Amino acid sequence: MKKLFIIGTGPGDLQLLTPKAQQAISASTELVAYGLYLDLLGDICAAKNRHDLPLGEEINRARLALDLAAQGKETALISSGDIGIYAMATLVFELLDRQLQGLEQSPQWLEVDIQVIPGISAMQAGASAVGALLGHDFCTISLSDLLTPWETIKKRIECAAAGDFVVSFYNPVSKKRDWQLNSARDILLASRPANTPVLIGRQLTRPEQSINIIQLQDLDAKDVDMFTMVSVGNSESRHIVNGDKEWLYTPRGYSKKLA
């Protein structure tokens, strides 16, 4: 059986790597990933063939993973976080779809048995680190306009604002993109209190983790980089302080029962 594992390895802390993901990596000889993700896995990747294509080479990474698997090699395509959320999984299926439509010349891909293994995504690592920010309805929006027109992204931010969703921004900035996050902030500020709590979580669950809780009015792209998760509370999200501990949570409405 030709097999391709598509694996999300969680935010970084190996204690959040699921046994299912770990076993799939163990069963593979070929690991295809952006190199940093493999570095985070440490010894688990020892004695494996690493195919660490750089950022920007996503399509070639997906092609390579399908090609290796189709050659009968035990192959794992790996992303940190959940590989099904803004990551490589969808690209593999997009290539398969193209092959099924006759737009690719790789019929061998269709013989590969695919298994997708989910992982803990950055929004979950962030929300749990500060309490329960995702406790009620939320959405995720990628601020990368490389593949999605800004008009579409802007419309989604406006809808997230109108619906009062907690919002997690993926790809908030990059080396070449710095204005989208501030634009998103301004759209949310039009309908959400200026003191709405915001989580700025950098390198979540990794040794260099830093977490800042700020107010929406103070959100600024200059304080955010590619390793940062930005999650904005809804109009009811609360920031509470208990001694030297502080928490963010979004209530589900139990207060009506508690009152």
Contacts of 93 (CB under 8 A, 6+ apart): none
Q: Max alpha carbon distance in the chain (Å)? A: 65
Asked if 23 touches a second copy (CB under 8 A), the answer is yes
Of 97, 186, 220, 225, the one binding a second copy (CB under 8 A) is: 97
Query: According to the binding rule CB under 8 A, does residue 80 interact with a second copy?
Result: no
Contact segment (CB under 8 A) with a second copy among 8-16, 27-35, 192-200, 213-221 equals 8-16
Alpha helices of the chain — where are they, by DSSP H?
A: 19-26, 35-41, 58-70, 89-100, 122-130, 150-162, 180-189, 255-258
Residue 257 interacts with a second copy (CB under 8 A)?
yes
Q: Name residues contacting a second copy, limited to 31-70 (CB under 8 A).
A: 58-59
User: Which stretch, 25-33, 35-43, 215-223, 248-256, contacts a second copy (CB under 8 A)?
Assistant: 248-256
CB of 125 to a second copy, least distance (A): 6
Report the DSSP beta bridge partners of residue 199: 213, 231
Residues 6+ apart with CB under 8 A from 100: 110
Q: Which stretch binds a second copy (CB under 8 A): 72-80, 182-190, 209-217, 251-259?
A: 251-259
Residue 103 or 194: the one with the smaller Cβ distance to a second copy is 103
The token pair that represents 166 in the structure block? 């907690």
Q: b/e map of 55-72 (b: 16 or more CB within 10 Å)?
A: eeebeebbbbbbbbbbee
Site for a second copy in 111-130 (CB under 8 A): 114, 116-121, 124-125, 127-129
Contact between 12 and a second copy per CB under 8 A:
no
Do 163 and 192 touch, CB atoms closer than 8 A? no
64 vs 116 by CB, closer to a second copy:
116
